[in-house]
Amino acid sequence: MKIHQLSLFLENKPGQMIGPCRLLARENINIRTLTLADTQQFGILRLIVSDWKRAAGLLTEAGFVVNVAEVVAVEVPDRPGGLSAILEALENCVNIEYMYAFPFASADRAVLIFRFDKPDDAITCLQAAGINVLSDVQVYDRIEK
């Protein structure tokens, strides 16, 4: 149930993001969603893409430092209290390293991407609480619509 997220090291200066984006565009790989984490010195571009294996290979070949991490995608109703139900399920189970969220264009639902220290334990807790954990295909599917 885990999905694959690519992370790229970027220096904190203008023009750093365009290289990988241009490469993925040329190869017809769609960026499903992304988040950019920044520090004073550097940034980390985290990407969920349509074909992560090919994207990781192409980016590595092009000289980027790429990290592949397993993250967990969860579907929630897009309304007050949606997130807190999930956090309650995880409260005594695992630590969240970071997360990001995005809504669907045409639905009352949102997708949350979680990076856990123990993703397998997290999935067990979430599913036990009846929360919908999405597979790779489902995530791409949901975001596309």
Partner 1 sequence: MIKMPDVCQTGFHPASTPDYIPVARMRELQLRRLRAVVARAYEHVALFRRRLEERSLGPECIRSLDDIRRLPFTVKSDLRDTYPFGLFASPMQEVVRLHASSGTTGKPIVVAYTKQDVDVWTSVMVRTLAACTLHEGDIIQNAYGYGLFTGGLGAHYGAEGLGATVVPISGGNTERQIMIMKDFGVTAICCTPSYFIHLLDRAGDLGVDIRSLPLRVGVFGAEPWTESMRRHIESAAGIKAYDIYGLSEIIGPGVASECYCQTGLHVFEDHFYPEIIDPDSGETLPDGAEGELVLSTLSKHAMPMIRYRTRDITAIETEPCPCGRTIRRIRRIGRRSDDMFIVRGINVFPSQIESALLAVEGTMPHYQIILTRQKGLDEIEVQIEVTPEVFSDKIGALEDLNRRLVKALDQTLGLRVNVRMVGPRSIARSEGKARRVIDRRDVSD
* Contact status: 37 vs partner 1 (CB under 8 A): yes
Q: Rounded to 5 degrees, what angle do the CA atoms 7, 140, 102 make? A: 70
Euclidean distance between CA atoms 127 and 19, whole angstroms: 39
Please name the residues in contact with 119: beta carbons below 8 A apart, sequence gap of 6 or more.
Answer: 2, 70, 71, 72, 94
Candidate segments 21-29, 57-65, 77-85, 103-111, binder of partner 1 by CB under 8 A: 57-65
* Contact status: 46 vs partner 1 (CB under 8 A): yes
Restricting to residues 102-121, which ones interact with partner 1 according to CB under 8 A? Answer: 115
Euclidean distance between CA atoms 112 and 3, whole angstroms: 12
Per-residue binder mask for partner 1 (CB under 8 A), 59-78, x = binder: -x--xxxxx-x---------
Q: Quick check: 125 and 17 in contact, CB under 8 A?
A: no
DSSP 2-28: -EEEEEEEEESSTTTTHHHHHHHHHTT
Candidate segments 4-12, 76-84, 121-129, 132-140, binder of partner 1 by CB under 8 A: 4-12
Q: How far is the CB of 25 from partner 1 (least distance, A)?
A: 20
* Contact status: 15 vs partner 1 (CB under 8 A): no
Q: Which residues bind partner 1 (CB under 8 A)?
A: 5, 7, 9-11, 16, 37, 39, 41-42, 44, 46, 60, 63-67, 69, 97-98, 115
